[in-house]
Structure 1
Amino acid sequence: MAHFSLRAVNMSTTRLPAFAAAFVTACAPVCAQAHVLTAAERSAPPALRWTFEPWVVALLILSLALYVAGYRRLCSRSRRGRAIRVRRLSAFVLGWLTLVAALDSPLDALSAALFSAHMVQHELMMLVAAPLLVLGRPLAVWLWAFRPASRHAIAAAVRTPALRGLWRSLCAPAVAWLLHAAALWAWHMPRLFEAALASPVIHTLQHASFLLSALLFWWVVFGEGTRRDQSGYAMLSLFTTMVHTGALGALLTLAPGLWYPAYIEPTSALGFDPLQDQQLGGLVMWVPGGLAYLIAALATGARWLMHRAPVTFIPNALAARRDSGS
């Protein structure tokens, strides 16, 4: 009976799936103040320490606690589908740990002084944490952390016509692709990027838009709601995203001058050349980033081929039919 209930929850929440489930986790960078250097800190090497922003830590712990509680309740009620739940648990935990590494580890402090570290931070959020959270399907598990009355109320709330219509629009492959591409290109414009470096509020908005647009993009690619006949769109989205992010990385790598002068002082304080640091950051986006999209596209293509009906060719039967006809 518990297994049937889990399926019912999954069916009721496919309208507002893992993207909405990951919203609590994604809210961490929205509610926290991203690390921004003061004027005095720009001329000195950064203190490489775990930042532990209170709101980030609180929301990450809350998301993990809800997942563990829901997972334990599901396991205690039914053993069916246990292998699937273990895979999803592993994906969620890995995505959660990646967010911790990106937002709370010394990488966060270093990203304020090195553009290349900043690019690593963004790639971890968009190319590692986001797809893993989507594959973790946390919404149904989180719902099971609540009592039955609360579960039904939440499931009913996400099935309202307005939310269902909005979700259908956002899940259109072209819309998800455009939102993700717009977030990437807009925030890497020098004026906006430097504004994010100077303002904690704008910086958190940058991180939130990167993560939320990536969650939506990967949901359309990998989500349960993606129909088999949309696999072609998913592969096209991945390949074209690989191309345009590679183009942005190439522009950063091959640029003759600095795009972001705000990095001159903090990068020089660490003994690095700012232009070379920018080139390294561009390469991070260009090569490892492009490889991640390529691997995802190949995996999507393999899944599509596996779901196709096999074509059986029996030469002996054909030969027998030809002989009997003659």
Structure 2
Amino acid sequence: MEFPKVRMRRLRKNRIRPLMQETKLSKEDLIMPIFVDENISSRQEIPSMPGYFRIPLHSISDEIGKAMELGIRAFIFFGIPASKDEIGSSAYDDDGVIQKALRDVRQDFDDAVLITDVCLCEYTTHGHCGIVHNEEILNDPTLPVLGKVAVSHARAGADIVAPSGMMDGMIKAIRGALDENGFENTAIMSYSAKYASSFYGPFREAAESGYAFGDRKSYQMDFHNSDEALREVELDLREGADMVMVKPALSYLDIIRRVKEAFKVPVAAYNVSGEYSMVKAAGRMGWLDETSIAYEILTSIKRAGADLIITYHAKEIAEVL
């Protein structure tokens, strides 16, 4: 049948339109990033991420509490430590910034889902995601360190650890370390398809994780590639990942779709700092409506196949939802 018997506009009337929505974005889809800074005494706005803040340790429970009042239950933590060294030892210190934050939040909010970024870039003097020798990022020596970080996070109360360094074999090393230390029920969300992207710029300011030399192209993926992402995901799943992530999200919707269709596993997508900052900058210029655009972007990410979305828009979208 065709026009005039078929009229697609019949289902677009205001009262009917919501019933026809194929993709539903909900608060349960959202994961809110938290930057915990050991060096500050009050919330500090991140200049390149308008409206987003670094949070001091003593205020972390207040920040989580306000978000949970909006219906957000899941949080991913990034730490800015008081001290850094060549091997990022403060990342696995049981008295480190993330470990302290986890214990505080877990004590106050037993029902919050606590996720931790497992990487070394925020904790090393060189700002790279692995052990460095002669300006080369070493893969295999980094693996046991990542295992130690994951165990320390699980011990402090993390429900999910999220390794983001794109080291080959990192999931196997972390799964083994967790199981050997009695944390076989701690889940792993792997940054499986993490691209070497220019969209990360504001995050590096937020987390003080800029690198002292070179770039991260020797371990993060080439944005020209998509088949490679499927291979990365497959390897991580074989090694024990419980869920996988695509990062960034907005320019990689095709990757999200391919991963979801190929593996039928829980897929997270990271709506990264550059994607957030572009919306905020345009909004402040009056060129677009920030909240409407953010809602449309997050819906497109879910429509592509993401089950979970890490986003700096979490609170404003939770208010809308």
TM-score, normalised relative to structure 1:
0.27
Higher strand fraction (1 or 2) = 2
* Structure with the larger RCO, 1 or 2 (CA within 8 Å, 6+ apart): 1
Larger radius of gyration: 1
Higher helix fraction (1 or 2) = 1
